[in-house]
């Protein structure tokens, strides 16, 4: 069975001005458009367009509660993934997500402490991990992701120190203290803890680096200028220099496992993740930052940019298959046959498609999204454009 679903973009402050509506050929909401959720997460479940097709349920979460394995497959009671359209008009917070065990423990701990799920200082909204992939659908998508080698971070600090030394009012002591942490990859955690503490002299260092970047028009310090403009005085401005800075082109993807510190900076992407809303923030935000909890989940190892390369599936489709079983994302541009191992969510972002399943069929135009029950285990697709299919592996 194929059932049409929809939702309203979430209006987080960092969202773009109408880019989700533009991508999906909808009327703009007049508010920031940050994320469109397609899934059953209770925080913002997708609306069922025709409840008569879903046992009278008004949203996907309610339908799954009523019908469970009848629509998800034998023995399956929860939709394990959440599909989003994400549009960053301004930088998101530096953040990381827990492992499954950390999420279970943290959720139980905060429940036992009586912290409301809606509390601003709540870290764990559910008991699930939140690994995620994102595919750029704008021409460029800019992000920070994972710690880079300390040698690279040290080189950036030394270049900033050189600009400081050449200024009218140099302050070499500030940079000497920062450089003392920049020995090798084993000191990544120490530098991070020192910066995120935001105690003197870190506050002075943030102000000094921001001022130097504002006076230096080089591309090298563009990131500092951007972040300092949005979040003046935030230690995340300096933490960003410890991270891989990447600009994806349309169709490129990242996979961000548990513990990977990251921030999306600008652009529109299709994001697929485990069905969770657990976020531990580390700066570039006015929201709650729990430093001890963040330190407990972060992976402090240096790593390259975590690109996720697509695997071809015939002429007109590719699949992004991360190293977790909860989800995979198939990108389709034309006639294809796609085998799915679970219930699926289909989203058309361009053109028109007809999809024949095992028991039913559906047509999608730009902006349409559909929930496919587990019985539709083989999808025969015709049409031209761009469509994404989210399912488990």
Q: Known catalytic residues?
A: 281
Nearest-CA neighbor of 235 among 93, 89, 88, 90? Answer: 93
Measured CA to CA, the distance from residue 332 to residue 38 in angstroms comes to: 18
What's the full length of the chain, in residues? 393
Q: Which residue has the tokens 């007109």?
A: 316
Measured CA to CA, the distance from residue 274 to residue 325 in angstroms comes to: 10
- Token pair in block for residue 180: 């003392």
The conformational region for residue 13 under phi > 0 = left, psi -120 to 50 = alpha, else beta, is alpha
Nearest-CA neighbor of 336 among 309, 318, 361, 349? Answer: 318
The conformational region for residue 194 under phi > 0 = left, psi -120 to 50 = alpha, else beta, is alpha
Backbone angles phi, psi at 37, to 5 degrees: -95, 130
| Cis amide linkage into residue 81, ω under 30° from 0 | no
Measured CA to CA, the distance from residue 197 to residue 176 in angstroms comes to: 18
E-strand stretches of 275-368:
280-281, 311-312, 317-320, 328-332, 336-339, 344-356, 361-365
- Token pair in block for residue 186: 């084993």
351 exposure class (CB count in 10 Å sphere: 0-12, 13-18, 19+): middle
How far apart, in Å, are the Cα atoms of 159 and each of 155, 183, 276, 287, 377? 6, 16, 40, 31, 56
Measured CA to CA, the distance from residue 326 to residue 275 in angstroms comes to: 9
How far apart, in Å, are the Cα atoms of 201 and each of 130, 242, 385? 34, 18, 54
Please state at what angle helix 202-215 crosses helix 222-230, rounded to 10 degrees. Answer: 120
């Amino acid at each position: 069975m194929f059932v049409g679903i929809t939702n309203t973009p979430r209006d987080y402050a960092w969202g773009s001005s109408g880019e989700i509506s533009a991508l999906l050929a909808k009327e703009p909401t007049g508010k920031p458009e940050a994320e469109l959720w397609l899934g059953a997460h209770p925080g913002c479940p997708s609306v069922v367009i025709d409840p008569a097709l879903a046992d009278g349920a008004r949203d996907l979460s309610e339908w799954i509660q009523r019908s469970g394995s009848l629509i998800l497959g034998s023995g399956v009671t929860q939709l394990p993934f959440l599909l989003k359209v994400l549009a960053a008009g301004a930088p998101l917070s530096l953040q990381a997500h827990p492992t499954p065990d950390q999420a279970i423990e943290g959720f139980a701990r905060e429940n036992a402490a009586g912290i409301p799920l809606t509390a601003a200082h709540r870290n764990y909204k559910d008991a699930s991990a939140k690994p995620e992939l994102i595919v750029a659908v704008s021409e460029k998508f800019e992000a920070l992701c994972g710690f880079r080698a300390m040698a690279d971070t040290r080189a950036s600090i030394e270049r900033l120190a050189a600009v400081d030394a050449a200024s009218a009012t140099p302050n070499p002591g500030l940079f000497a203290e920062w450089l003392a942490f920049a020995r090798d990859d084993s000191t990544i955690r120490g530098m991070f803890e020192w910066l995120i503490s935001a105690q003197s002299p870190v506050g002075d260092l943030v102000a000094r680096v921001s001022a130097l970047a504002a006076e230096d028009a080089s591309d090298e310090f563009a990131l500092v200028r951007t972040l300092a403009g949005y979040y003046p005085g935030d230690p995340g401005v300096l933490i960003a220099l410890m991270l891989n800075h990447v600009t994806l082109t349309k169709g490129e993807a990242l996979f961000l496992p548990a513990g990977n510190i990251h921030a999306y900076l600008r652009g529109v992407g299709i994001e697929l993740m485990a069905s969770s809303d657990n976020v531990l923030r580390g700066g570039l935000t006015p929201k709650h930052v729990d430093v001890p909890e963040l330190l407990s989940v972060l992976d402090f190892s240096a790593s390259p940019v975590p690109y996720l390369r697509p695997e071809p599936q015939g002429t007109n489709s590719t699949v992004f298959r991360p190293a977790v079983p909860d989800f995979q994302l198939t990108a389709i541009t034309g006639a294809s046959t796609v085998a799915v191992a679970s219930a699926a969510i289909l989203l058309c972002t361009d053109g028109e498609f007809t999809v024949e399943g095992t028991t039913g069929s559906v047509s999608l135009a730009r902006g349409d999204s559909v929930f496919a029950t587990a019985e539709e285990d083989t999808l025969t697709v015709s049409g031209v454009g761009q469509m994404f299919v989210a399912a488990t592996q």
